[in-house]
Amino acid sequence: MEEFSNSVGWKIFYSILAVFMIGFSLFLLNMGNSKAGNGVLAIPAFFVLFAVLLIANKFRRKIIISADSIISINTFGSKELYTANIKGCRFGEKVIYIVPNSTSGPQIIIRGYSNLSNSEYLVKWLRENFKDLDAEDLTIEQNKLLQDGRLGSTQEEREEKIKRIKQLAMTYNITGMILGIAAIFFDNYFVTIILISFPLMGILLMIFSKGLVKFVSSKRSAYSYTMVGFLLPSVTMLIKSFSEYEISQYENLWLPFIIVTILLLTLLYFIGINRSAESIAGQVAIMLIACLIYGYGGIIQINCKFDKSKPQLIHTLVYSKWKEYSKGEHYHLKLNTWDADGKWKDIEVSKATFDEFSEGSKIGINLKRGLLNIPWFYLQL
C-alpha cells in the first residue's frame, strides 16, 4: 500500500496563504463601516471560511493505492474505486481522471497531482497498471479515419491525405502566429487586409479539409486545428483598434458586431466542433471569445482604415488630464464632448501632447464619418 499526500513545501505554502487570507479578513473587519450594517461581515467571514477549508483540505488530502483499490480522501469525504472496476486513466497537465468501467460508478479526479509527494511514482504506477484512455481514443479515431473512403480509395492515399492536411494546418497556425506578432509593427492597407482575411482562410481550410481540421483539438483527437491561426491575427486587430483609433459614437457599431459574431460562431460550430476533444461547452466558449475578438477588431479596422471621408475640424476644450500607471506611464486627455450624447471623450496621447495642453485650453479634433458610419476622430496637432 502506498500513500500520497501534499508535499511539505506545498503545505507550508498553503498555510501561509491561509494565514494571509485570515489576516486580510480581520483587516476588512476592522475597516468595516458600522453604517453598512451586519451584512458587511459576510465578506471577512467568507475569507476566513475559505482559508479554513483550504488548509484543512491540503492537510487531509490523500491518495491511497493498493493492489485492490484506489482511495481519494479530502475534506469533503472520500471515494474508493476497486482496481477491477477501473476502465483506465486520462492524464492532463494538472489533473488525472481515474475512470470506472460503469458510467454510474464514482470517478476519482486528482487535481494538482504534481503537488503530491512522490507524484512521479504515482503517475508511473497508474500508467503501468491501467489503460491510457486518451491514447486509446486517439488510436481508435486514427483507425476510423484510415477507413474513411472519402479520403481516398486506398489506405496509402488516406494516410497521405491526413498527413498533408496536418502539415497544412500546422503551416496555417505558424503563419498566423508570425503574422499576428509582426503586424503589430506595421500599419498599412495590405497588412490590414491580411489580418482581416487570415482567420477566414482558416474557416475555408476547415470546410475543404473533408472534416480533418477542426477549430480546437486535443491529445486524444486525430484532427488538426486552426485556433492559433484564427486567434492571433484577431487579437492583433483588436489591439490595433484600441491603440490606433478613437471612436466618437458606438451606436452604429453594435449591430454589425453582433451579426458578424453570430455568423462566425455558427460557422465555427457546424464545421469546427470537435466531438472527440474536450467538452463541447468549452469549445463553444473558446469559439465565442475568438468571434467576439474578430468581430470587434475587424469592424473597427474596416470602418477606420478604409474610411475615405473628408475630416471635419471641430474645436473643443480640454476638460481635464490624467495619468495611468498600468504597465508603464500612460497619458490621457478628457475632452468636452461635441456630440449630442453629452459624454466626455477620453483619449490617450503622447507625453509631448499631454504637456502641450492644459486644462481648459482649446484643442482641434478631426472627426471622420467612418466607412461603416461609425464616427471616429483624431487630434489636430
pLDDT at 159: 80
pLDDT at 35: 43
Residue 221 has pLDDT above 80, yes or no: no
Q: What's the mean pLDDT in 236-240?
A: 94
Give tens-digit pLDDT for 112-121: 888 888 888 8
Give tens-digit pLDDT for 251-279: 999 999 999 999 999 999 999 998 877 67
- Give the pLDDT band of residue 167 (cuts 50, 70, 90): very high
What is the DSSP annotation of 309-368? PPPEEEEEEEEEEEEEESSSEEEEEEE---STT---EEEEE-HHHHHH--TT-EEEEEEE
Local structure of 59: helix, strand or coil:
helix
Residue 216 near residue 283 (C-beta atoms within 8 A): yes
pLDDT at 34: 45
Give tens-digit pLDDT for 280-339: 888 899 999 999 999 999 999 999 999 999 999 989 998 888 888 877 788 888 898 887
pLDDT at 8: 82
Non-local CB neighbours of 299 within 8 Å, separated by 6+ positions: 253, 256, 257, 260, 372, 374
pLDDT at 309: 94
Sheet containing 62-65: order of strands? 2-5, 62-65, 69-74, 77-82
Q: Buried b / exposed e across 348-365, counting CB within 10 Å, b at 16+?
A: ebeeebbeebeeeeebeb
Residue 185 near residue 195 (C-beta atoms within 8 A): no
Residue 50 has pLDDT above 60, yes or no: yes
**Torsion angle defined by CA atoms of residues 216, 220, 223 and 225, in that order, rounded to the nearest 10 degrees:** 20
Q: What's the mean pLDDT in 229-243?
A: 94
Give tens-digit pLDDT for 122-136: 888 888 888 888 888
- Global pTM reads 0.71
pLDDT at 37: 46
Q: What percent of the chain has pLDDT over 70?
A: 95
pLDDT at 182: 94
Side-chain-side CA neighbours of residue 218 (13 Å): 21
- Give the pLDDT band of residue 240 (cuts 50, 70, 90): very high
Q: What's the mean pLDDT in 205-233?
A: 89
Q: Buried b / exposed e across 56-69, counting CB within 10 Å, b at 16+?
A: eebeebebbbeeee
Would the CA dihedral through 95, 98, 103, 105 be positive or negative? negative
Give tens-digit pLDDT for 13-33: 888 888 888 887 777 666 554
**Which grid coordinates are listed for 81?**
474505486
pLDDT at 29: 67
What is the residue-averaged pLDDT of the chain?
Answer: 86
Q: What angle do CA 348, 319, 377 make, to 5 degrees?
A: 45
What's the one-letter identity of residue 182?
Answer: A
What is the DSSP annotation of 62-106? EEEE-SSEEEEEETTEEEEEEGGGEEEEEE-SSEEEEEESSTTSP
Residue 189 has pLDDT above 80, yes or no: yes
Non-local CB neighbours of 144 within 8 Å, separated by 6+ positions: none
**Which grid coordinates are listed for 269?**
460550430
Name 109's bridge partners. Answer: 97
Q: Which domains does the chain have, with CATH numbers?
A: 2-131 (2.30.29), 169-305 (no CATH), 312-380 (2.40.50)
The label of the residue with cell 487570507 reads 21
Local structure of 2: helix, strand or coil:
strand
pLDDT at 197: 96
> Strand 2-5 vs strand 62-65: parallel, antiparallel, or unpaired?
antiparallel
Residue 58 near residue 14 (C-beta atoms within 8 A): yes
Residue 3 has pLDDT above 80, yes or no: yes
Residue 342 has pLDDT above 80, yes or no: no
Q: What's the mean pLDDT in 78-87?
A: 87
Q: What percent of the chain has pLDDT over 90?
A: 32
pLDDT at 278: 67
Read off φ and ψ for residue 186, nearest 5 degrees. Answer: -125, 145
Non-local CB neighbours of 91 within 8 Å, separated by 6+ positions: 123, 126, 127, 132, 134
pLDDT at 144: 75
132 CB neighbour count, 10 Å cutoff: 17
Residue 197 near residue 183 (C-beta atoms within 8 A): no
Residue 205 has pLDDT above 70, yes or no: yes
